[in-house]
Amino acid sequence: MSVNERKSQSDLKLIGTSRRKIEGLDKSTGRAVYTDDIVLPGMLHGKILRSPHPHARILSIDTSEAAALPGVHGVITGRDMPRVYGIIPWTPDEYPLCVDRVRYVGDGVAAVAAIDEDTAIRALALIRVEYEELPAFLDPHAALAADGSSPYVHDAKKDGWNGNITKRVHLEFGEVDGLMDASDVLVEDNYFFEGTTHTPIEPHCAIGLWQAGGGFQDADGATTGKLTVWSSTQVPHYLHRELSQVLGVDQAHVRVLQPLVGGAFGGKSEPFDLEFCVAKLSMVTGRPVKILYTREEVFYAHRGRHPFHMHYRTGATTDGKLTSVDAKILLDGGAYASFGLVTAYYSGQLLCAPYAMPAYRFDSTRVYTNKPACGPKRGHGSVQPRFAFEVQMDRLAEKLDLDPIEFRRRNFIGSDTRTINELRITSNGFLECLDAVERASGWRDRFRKLPFGRGLGIAGSTYISGTNYPIYPNEMPQSAVQMQIDRSGRVAVFSGASEIGQGCDSLVASIAAEELGVPLDYVRVMRGDTDFTPVDLGAYSSRVTFMLGNAAIDAATKLRKMVQEAVAAKWEVNPTEVLLAGGMAMWSSDTERQMPIKDAFNIAESMFGALGSMGSYNTPKDVHGEYRGATIGASPAYSFTAHVAEVEVDVESGMVEVKKIWVAHDCGRALNPILVEGQMEGSAYMGFGEALMEEQVYKDADHGRAGLLNAPSLLDYRIPTSLDTPELEALIVESIDPEGPYGAKEAGEGPLHPSIPAIANAIYDAIGVRMTRLPFSAPSVWKKIAEARTADTLRKPLVPAGDGTLTDNPARTAPAGAR
Amino acid sequence: MIPVEAEPDVLRLPPFRYHRPGTVAEAVALMGEHAGNAMFVAGGTDLIPNMKHRLFEPGHLVALKGIGELRGIREDAGHLRIGASETLTSVATHLDVLRSFPALADAASHVAGPQLRNAGTIGGNLCLDTRCTYYNQTEFWREALGYCLKKDGTVCHVTKVGKKCVAAHSADTPPVLMTLDAVATLVGPEGVREVPVRDFFVTDGILNTLRGPGEIVTEVRIPLVSAQKKQAYAKLRQRKSIDFPLLTVAIAADIEGDGTVRSIEGVVTALGSRPRVLSGWGDTAEGHKLDDGIINELAQRAHKQCHPLENITVDPEWRRAMVPVYVRRALEKLGAA
* Contact A6/B at CB under 8 A: no
Task: Identify which of A448, A304, A311, A317 has the alpha carbon closest to the alpha carbon of residue A391.
Answer: A311
Chain B hits for A716, Cβ within 8 Å: 133, 136, 313
Relative to beta strand A254-257, strand A322-332 is unpaired
- Do residues A414 and A424 make contact, with C-beta atoms less than 8 angstroms apart? no
Task: Identify which of A231, A221, A225, A230 has the alpha carbon closest to the alpha carbon of residue A210.
Answer: A225
- Based on the fold, state whether residues B184 and B311 are members of the same structural domain: yes
DSSP bridge partners of A383: none
- Based on the fold, state whether residues A595 and A540 are members of the same structural domain: yes
Q: Domain containing B318 — which CATH number?
A: 3.30.465.10
A290 and B8 within 8 Å at the Cβ level: the answer is yes
- Do residues A654 and A789 make contact, with C-beta atoms less than 8 angstroms apart? no
- Based on the fold, state whether residues A609 and A649 are members of the same structural domain: no
Whole-number average pLDDT of chain A: 95
- Based on the fold, state whether residues B54 and B178 are members of the same structural domain: no
Nearest CA-CA distance, residue B284 and chain A, Å:
22
A704 and B157 within 8 Å at the Cβ level: the answer is yes
- Do residues A599 and A621 make contact, with C-beta atoms less than 8 angstroms apart? no
A724 and B11 within 8 Å at the Cβ level: the answer is no
Which of A91-95, A219-223, A290-294, B90-94 has the weakest average pLDDT?
A: A219-223
B8 and A711 within 8 Å at the Cβ level: the answer is no
Domain count, chain A: 3
On whether residue A164 sits in a domain, the answer given is no
On whether residue B134 sits in a domain, the answer given is no
Of A562, A593, A617, which closes a domain?
A617
Mean pLDDT along residues A623-644: 97
- Answer whether the bond into residue A815 is a cis peptide, omega within 30°: no
Q: Domain containing A276 — which CATH number?
A: 3.90.1170.50
Q: How many CB atoms lie within 10 A of CB A102?
A: 28
> How many residues would you count in chain A?
819
- Based on the fold, state whether residues A246 and A378 are members of the same structural domain: no
pLDDT at A269: 97
- Based on the fold, state whether residues A111 and A129 are members of the same structural domain: yes
Chain A hits for B317, Cβ within 8 Å: 779
On whether residue B7 sits in a domain, the answer given is no
Instruction: Give this complex's ipTM.
Output: 0.95
Domain count, chain B: 2
φ, ψ at B197 (rounded to 5°): -60, -35
- Based on the fold, state whether residues B293 and B195 are members of the same structural domain: yes
- Based on the fold, state whether residues B237 and B297 are members of the same structural domain: yes
Q: Domain containing B18 — which CATH number?
A: 3.30.43.10
On whether residue B261 sits in a domain, the answer given is yes
Q: What is the CA radius of gyration of chain B?
A: 20
The residues near A776 (Cβ < 8 Å, ≥ 6 apart) are A656, A691, A692, A759, A760, A763
- Domain range for B204 is 72-128+167-336
Q: CA torsion A719→A722→A727→A729, rounded to 10°?
A: 80
Of A617, A647, A679, which closes a domain?
A617
Burial B130-152 (b: 16+ CB within 10 A, else e): bbbbbbbbbbbbbebbebbbbbe
What does the alpha-carbon distance between residue B200 and residue B209 come to, in Å, rounded to a whole number? 6
- Based on the fold, state whether residues A447 and A489 are members of the same structural domain: no
| Cα angle: A267, vertex A269, A270; to 5 degrees | 110
The residues near A378 (Cβ < 8 Å, ≥ 6 apart) are A198, A265, A266, A683, A686, A748, A749, A752
φ, ψ at B48 (rounded to 5°): -65, -50
B240 and A723 within 8 Å at the Cβ level: the answer is yes
Task: Give me the residue from A290, A708, A721 closest to B145, CB to CB.
Answer: A708
DSSP bridge partners of A282: none
The model's confidence at residue A7, banded by pLDDT at 50, 70 and 90, is: low
pLDDT at A812: 47
- Based on the fold, state whether residues B109 and B84 are members of the same structural domain: yes
Task: Give me the residue from B4, B10, B144 closest to A705, CB to CB.
Answer: B144
Q: Which amino acid is at A589?
A: S
- Based on the fold, state whether residues B180 and B87 are members of the same structural domain: yes
A704 and B134 within 8 Å at the Cβ level: the answer is yes
B7 and A652 within 8 Å at the Cβ level: the answer is no
- Based on the fold, state whether residues A651 and A756 are members of the same structural domain: yes
On whether residue B150 sits in a domain, the answer given is no
- Based on the fold, state whether residues A485 and A512 are members of the same structural domain: yes
- Do residues A324 and A291 make contact, with C-beta atoms less than 8 angstroms apart? no
- Based on the fold, state whether residues A743 and A760 are members of the same structural domain: yes
B7 and A50 within 8 Å at the Cβ level: the answer is no
DSSP, collapsed to helix, strand or coil, labels residue A11 as: helix
- Do residues A510 and A671 make contact, with C-beta atoms less than 8 angstroms apart? yes
pLDDT at B7: 55
DSSP E strand stretches across A597-698 = 612-617, 638-650, 655-666
DSSP bridge partners of A193: A308
Interface of B with A (CB under 8 A): 4, 6-12, 15, 113, 133-134, 136-138, 140-141, 143-146, 157, 236, 238-243, 310, 313-315, 317-318, 321-322, 325
Of A571, A596, A617, which closes a domain?
A617
Nearest CA-CA distance, residue B239 and chain A, Å:
6
Q: Provide the residue-wise pLDDT of chain B in tens; the chain has 337 residues.
A: 343 344 556 789 999 999 999 999 999 999 999 999 999 999 999 999 999 999 999 999 999 999 999 999 999 999 999 999 999 999 999 999 999 999 999 999 999 999 999 999 999 999 999 999 999 999 999 999 999 999 999 999 999 987 899 999 999 999 999 999 999 999 999 999 999 999 999 999 999 999 999 999 999 999 999 999 999 999 999 999 999 999 999 999 999 999 999 999 999 999 999 999 999 999 999 999 999 999 999 999 999 999 999 999 899 999 999 999 999 999 999 987 7
* HEC-encoded secondary structure of chain B: CCCCCCCCCCCCCCCCEEECCCCHHHHHHHHHHCCCCEEEECCCCCHHHHHHCCCCCCCEEEECCCCHHHCCEEEECCEEEEECCCEHHHHHHCHHHHHHCHHHHHHHHCCCCHHHHHHCEHHHHHCCCCECCCCCCCHHHHHHHCCECCEECCCCCCCCCCCCCCCECCCCHHHHHHHCCCEEEEEECCEEEEEEHHHHECCCCCCCECCCCCCEEEEEEEEHHHHHCEEEEEEECCCCCCCCCCEEEEEEEEECCCCEEEEEEEEEECCCCCCEECCCHHHHHCCCECCHHHHHHHHHHHHHHCCCCCCCCCCHHHHHHHHHHHHHHHHHHHHHC
- Pick the residue of A653, A656, A819 with the most B CBs within 10 A to test the interface with B by mutation: A653
Q: Which amino acid is at A392?
A: Q
φ, ψ at A707 (rounded to 5°): 95, -10
- Based on the fold, state whether residues B321 and B276 are members of the same structural domain: yes
Q: Which residue of A has its CA nearest to B310?
A: A703
- Based on the fold, state whether residues B115 and B181 are members of the same structural domain: yes
Residue A805 has pLDDT above 60, yes or no: no
| Cα angle: A759, vertex A762, A766; to 5 degrees | 140
- Pick the residue of A274, A697, A705, A716 with the most B CBs within 10 A to test the interface with B by mutation: A716
DSSP state of A728: E
Task: Give me the residue from A116, A203, A782 closest to B4, CB to CB.
Answer: A116
Residue B220 CA: distances (Å) to CA of B47, B125, B189, B196: 20, 11, 19, 9
- Do residues B334 and B231 make contact, with C-beta atoms less than 8 angstroms apart? yes
- Based on the fold, state whether residues B258 and B178 are members of the same structural domain: yes
The model's confidence at residue A217, banded by pLDDT at 50, 70 and 90, is: confident
B318 and A782 within 8 Å at the Cβ level: the answer is yes
On whether residue B151 sits in a domain, the answer given is no
A705 and B145 within 8 Å at the Cβ level: the answer is yes
Residue A813 has pLDDT above 60, yes or no: no
On whether residue B133 sits in a domain, the answer given is no
- Do residues A763 and A457 make contact, with C-beta atoms less than 8 angstroms apart? yes
On whether residue A347 sits in a domain, the answer given is yes
* Touching B: A residues 221-260, CB under 8 Å: none
The model's confidence at residue A707, banded by pLDDT at 50, 70 and 90, is: very high
Nearest CA-CA distance, residue B183 and chain A, Å:
32
State the number of CA atoms in the 13 A half-sphere of A256 facing the CB.
29
- Based on the fold, state whether residues A72 and A102 are members of the same structural domain: yes
Q: Which residue of B has its CA nearest to A53?
A: B144
- Based on the fold, state whether residues B96 and B232 are members of the same structural domain: yes
What does the alpha-carbon distance between residue A646 and residue A641 come to, in Å, rounded to a whole number? 17
- Based on the fold, state whether residues B50 and B177 are members of the same structural domain: no
Task: Identify which of A315, A312, A329, A345 has the alpha carbon closest to the alpha carbon of residue A411.
Answer: A315
A182-213 pLDDT, tens digit per residue, is 999 999 999 999 999 999 999 999 999 999 99
A754-804 pLDDT, tens digit per residue, is 999 999 999 999 999 999 999 999 999 999 999 999 999 999 999 887 654
Burial B302-330 (b: 16+ CB within 10 A, else e): bbebbebbbbbebbbebbbbbbbbbbbbb
On whether residue A194 sits in a domain, the answer given is no
- Based on the fold, state whether residues B242 and B330 are members of the same structural domain: yes
φ, ψ at A732 (rounded to 5°): -80, 130
DSSP, collapsed to helix, strand or coil, labels residue A263 as: coil
Mean pLDDT along residues A470-486: 96
On whether residue B140 sits in a domain, the answer given is no
A582-611 pLDDT, tens digit per residue, is 999 999 999 999 999 999 999 999 999 999
Give the distance, in angstroms, between the CA of residue A519 and the centroid of all CA atoms in the same chain: 32
- Based on the fold, state whether residues A402 and A454 are members of the same structural domain: yes
Q: Which residue of A has its CA nearest to B134?
A: A704
Nearest CA-CA distance, residue A617 and chain B, Å:
40
- Answer whether the bond into residue A354 is a cis peptide, omega within 30°: yes
A294 and B11 within 8 Å at the Cβ level: the answer is yes
Give, rounded to a whole angstrom, the gap between the first and last alpha carbons of chain B: 52
Q: Which residue of B has its CA nearest to A776?
A: B238
Mean pLDDT along residues A359-371: 98
What does the alpha-carbon distance between residue B8 and residue A293 come to, in Å, rounded to a whole number? 9
On whether residue B136 sits in a domain, the answer given is no
What does the alpha-carbon distance between residue B40 and residue B66 come to, in Å, rounded to a whole number? 12
Task: Give me the residue from B9, B144, B241 closest to A52, CB to CB.
Answer: B144
Relative to beta strand A360-367, strand A322-332 is parallel
Relative to beta strand B60-63, strand B38-41 is parallel
Give, rounded to a whole angstrom, the gap between the first and last alpha carbons of chain A: 66
Nearest CA-CA distance, residue A241 and chain B, Å:
28
- Based on the fold, state whether residues A387 and A278 are members of the same structural domain: no
User: pTM value?
Assistant: 0.96
Q: Is the dihedral of CA B151, B155, B158, B162 positive or negative?
A: positive
Chain B hits for A296, Cβ within 8 Å: 11, 138, 140-141
On whether residue A223 sits in a domain, the answer given is yes
DSSP, collapsed to helix, strand or coil, labels residue A25 as: helix
Task: Give A418-439 as a DSSP string.
Answer: E-TT-PEE----HHHHHHHHHH
Chain B hits for A712, Cβ within 8 Å: 137-138, 141
DSSP, collapsed to helix, strand or coil, labels residue A613 as: strand
Q: How many CB atoms lie within 10 A of CB A439?
A: 14
Residue A124 has pLDDT above 90, yes or no: yes
Q: Which residue of A has its CA nearest to B6?
A: A116
DSSP, collapsed to helix, strand or coil, labels residue A300 as: helix
* Contact A791/B at CB under 8 A: no
- Do residues A539 and A749 make contact, with C-beta atoms less than 8 angstroms apart? no
- Domain range for A249 is 36-134+203-261+268-301
- Based on the fold, state whether residues A557 and A446 are members of the same structural domain: no
Q: Domain containing A25 — which CATH number?
A: 3.30.365.10
